[in-house]
Structure 1
Amino acid sequence: MLLARLPLAALFTVLFTAALLAEESPNTLTADEQKLGFQLLFDGKSLEGWKHAGNWKVADGVIERTGKGGDLIYDVKPVPDDFELRFEWKVAEGSNSGIYYRPGQYEYQVLDNDRHPNGKVPDTTAASLYYCIAPSRDVTNEPGEWNTGRIVCQGTVIQHWLNGEKVVDINYSHPDPKLTAAIEKLKKRGATLDSRGAKLKLQDHGDPVWYRSLRMRKLSGQEELDNSPLKGN
């Protein structure tokens, strides 16, 4: 067998590389995701099903903003009332973008926290419910590196995840007085608690940004959600 003839260090490199490539399969669904009912929104090849003004393109399996023209909109169907969205994103230094998933600008912030002015305000940093709820802590990767994101919405619960960690977890029916101010901020952005039926949008904020591995599933409304406490800095 050819592998058996390789020096130990070289063999380790080959096996490590193979394992890494197996783990990194962007724009595909894992077996578990298929069982859960996820559907790919982007196949890694084209922007079929997406609406834009020519300022977004696909290169090497990645969606890239290339110039002025507005947001990239998934035009196939609206976002389900209860859903889970998984995605990967990266930004250039100082870049700003976001993912809109409900009417009235419910937004998952995408940002270079260290170099963009929004990074100085907790409720406008990466993975925040923009302008309303700050993430529990900053777990972003450096500009140019990929981040994994998740948005989970079910009933009155909204969760934002970043790089495997839950950083926003709110329940509108929870009698937390801190929530009152957040709801008022949402109203200023045109949102109501029963806002539903938006088209998914990737924001053009004038900066370089990249997305891939966008996949979504509809939740039953009775899914058992992660109720673990948020970790602080």
Structure 2
Amino acid sequence: MNYLRVSAAALLALALIAPNTNAAEAKPNPVKSGEPAARKGKWETLFDGKTLTGWHIYLKPGQPVTEKWVVDDNAIHLTQGGIGDLVTDKEYGDFELEIEWKIAEGGNSGIIFHVNEDPKFKATYQTGPEMQVLDNERHPDAKQGRDGNRTAGSLYDLQKPVTPMAAKPAGEWNKARLVISKGKAEQYLNGKKTAEYQTSGPEWDKMVAESKFKGWEGFGKYSAGHLALQDHGNKVWFRNIRIREL
């Protein structure tokens, strides 16, 4: 008699538990099986603060940089123009770049990416889009173009800034960030987003068609290439440069 009572109690308990167990199993799993978590590359320092190792003058690979681009107080310093843009030895496709820059009064420069170092292109900007480096207060470029699309931090001559006037005055350090991943780019200056755009496709083609780069053979056509620091003839400084491939 006791045995039967225990068995009945046990069966009743199982009957009550079973629906809850099945319901738990029926809940969707938020983690997709077989799909690894996204991994980003390790940060790579592009400037050691002492030498220009890893860099060369555009179209002069393998030749040491001996003048005008110098190392000054842990920064890359263009002392005077006329030598050419400084480019990385290595090429990059999808990446996250962090870099600090300081421009002289009345100065103009740029950070150019996806540069194709083919001799048929005489300058880095013939292929690579540019994140503008500028003294907004004194350089005329700030008032040219359309809606501020030539001001510091902008995608030069292609898109008006998402956040206008994010730059600090000439002589002060600015922190820039550029992220390119899966056909999309974002630019930041001093923690503020200044540009967001597709790097190819109809939206990109429309921007190019409405810019000074309309009809340029190789402009914005490459999904990977060198990074360049522009020699625009004015004094400029760059430091704390690092990158990670995405």
Change beyond 3 A, Cα 1:73–1:173: closer
Q: Which residue identity lines up with residue 98 of structure 1 in the other structure?
A: G
Deviation at 1:142, TM superposition (A): 1.0
Deviation at 1:183, TM superposition (A): 3.0
47-56 vs 89-98, which deviates more? 47-56
Q: How does 1:25-104 map to 2 (within 5 A)?
A: 37-52=42-57, 53=65, 54-67=67-80, 68-75=82-89, 77-79=90-92, 81-103=93-115, 104=127
2:141 alignment partner, SS class: helix
Deviation at 1:171, TM superposition (A): 2.7
Q: Which residue identity lines up with residue 132 of structure 1 in the other structure?
A: L
Counterpart residue number, 2:62: none
**Are the counterparts in 1 of residues 153 and 188 from structure 2 also a CA contact under 8 Å?**
yes
Q: TM-score, normalised by structure 2?
A: 0.68
1:181 alignment partner, SS class: helix
Name structure 2 gaps, 5 residues minimum. Answer: 1-39, 58-64, 116-126
2:208 alignment partner, SS class: helix
CA offsets, 1:38-82, max 9 Å, x none? 11000101111111352200011011001221111111x102x21
Aligned-residue sequence identity (percent) comes to: 41
Name structure 1 gaps, 5 residues minimum. Answer: 1-34, 220-233
Instruction: Indicate which of 176, 179, 183 corresponds to 1:149.
Output: 176
145-154 vs 46-55, which deviates more? 46-55
Counterpart residue number, 1:125: 151
Change beyond 3 A, Cα 1:216–1:107: same
Cα distance in 2 between the residues matched to 1:195 and 1:175: 15
Change beyond 3 A, Cα 1:60–1:139: same
Deviation at 1:175, TM superposition (A): 7.2
**Are the counterparts in 1 of residues 95 and 244 from structure 2 also a CA contact under 8 Å?**
yes
2:239 alignment partner, SS class: strand
**Are the counterparts in 1 of residues 128 and 219 from structure 2 also a CA contact under 8 Å?**
no
**Are the counterparts in 2 of residues 93 and 112 from structure 1 also a CA contact under 8 Å?**
yes
Cα distance in 2 between the residues matched to 1:97 and 1:193: 19
Counterpart residue number, 2:132: 109
Q: Which residue identity lines up with residue 68 of structure 2 in the other structure?
A: N
Q: Size of the alignment, in residue pairs?
A: 181
Instruction: Indicate which of 189, 204, 207 corresponds to 1:182.
Output: 207
Deviation at 1:180, TM superposition (A): 5.2
**Are the counterparts in 1 of residues 41 and 245 from structure 2 also a CA contact under 8 Å?**
no
Q: Which residue identity lines up with residue 131 of structure 2 in the other structure?
A: Y
Counterpart residue number, 1:213: 240
1:124 alignment partner, SS class: coil
Cα distance in 2 between the residues matched to 1:40 and 1:161: 19
Deviation at 1:197, TM superposition (A): 2.7
Q: TM-score, normalised by structure 1?
A: 0.71
Q: Which residue identity lines up with residue 74 of structure 1 in the other structure?
A: T
Counterpart residue number, 1:28: none
Change beyond 3 A, Cα 1:175–1:201: closer
Cα distance in 1 between the residues matched to 2:174 and 2:189: 7
CA offsets, 1:2-52, max 9 Å, x none? xxxxxxxxxxxxxxxxxxxxxxxxxxxxxxxxx861110001011111113
RMSD: 2.1
**Are the counterparts in 1 of residues 128 and 220 from structure 2 also a CA contact under 8 Å?**
no
Q: Which residue identity lines up with residue 51 of structure 1 in the other structure?
A: H
CA offsets, 1:71-112, max 9 Å, x none? 11111x102x21111000011111000011113121111000
Deviation at 1:200, TM superposition (A): 1.1
